A and B are shown apart, each in its own frame.
Chain A
Amino acid sequence: KQEVTQIPAALSVPEGENLVLNCSFTDSAIYNLQWFRQDPGKGLTSLLLIQSSQREQTSGRLNASLDKSSGRSTLYIAASQPGDSATYLCAVYTNAGKSTFGDGTTLTVKP
């Protein structure tokens, strides 16, 4: 059974810092891994999608890496801003056709 763990559960940083969110998964037989952002009371906003054959994806200040063999992914946020405050979820999409989500990292960026 696929298990997804996100560390840390919560993170508070001052504005401008670079930060790394971690995601680990137990079963490497995945199609892809996706990072989402979720604001309080809102739905999911897809940030980055990494296919199983890829090593990383970049979008603006965000960079996500994937090491499938070790079951790890990181989301790097450069020059953090207060507007980045949200919960970040990673989800692995397996060959069985299901997504398993981590519990998320709640990020607070202080002005």
Chain B
Amino acid sequence: GAVVSQHPSWVICKSGTSVKIECRSLDFQATTMFWYRQFPKQSLMLMATSNEGSKATYEQGVEKDKFLINHASLTLSTLTVTSAHPEDSSFYICSARDFSQIETQYFGPGTRLLVL
């Protein structure tokens, strides 16, 4: 079956640094990838939709200058948390939609970010 990977799976950083998270579709082409965030004891909330070769679409309340998304190829999207602060500590999960099967999306294993 289709596989989506994320790297890193865990990251701890100091406040003020930037962190990049990668999302890769390993055996299919993904024209669209989605980034979700999950705070402790809460459900996943969509942050942004990333389309290959174009600007990401951000959900209301998500700062596009803080969460930079780049989807430069059909198999890779990156989320950069710029100038991270402790309140950005969260679980970030990406999903990818198969170019040939738009009705299905596959989820990555997630990246846990802890900002000290």
Interface residues of B (CB under 8 A from A): 32, 34, 36, 42-46, 49, 91, 93, 95, 97, 102-105, 107-110, 112
Contact = CB atoms under 8 A, between A and B. Distances in A.
Q: Is the interface of A mostly helix, strand, loop or mixed?
A: strand
Given A97-B49, A97-B102, 12 more contacts: A31-B104, A43-B110, A44-B44, A44-B107, A89-B43, A93-B103, A98-B49, A99-B36, A101-B36, A101-B45, A103-B42, A103-B43
Interface of A: 31-32, 36, 41-44, 46, 49, 51, 89, 91, 93, 97-104
A44 B103 CA distance: 19
A51 B103 CA distance: 9
A80 B109 CA distance: 25
Contacts of B43: 89, 101-104
A32 B44 contact: no
Given A43-B110, A98-B34, A101-B43, A93 B93 contact: no
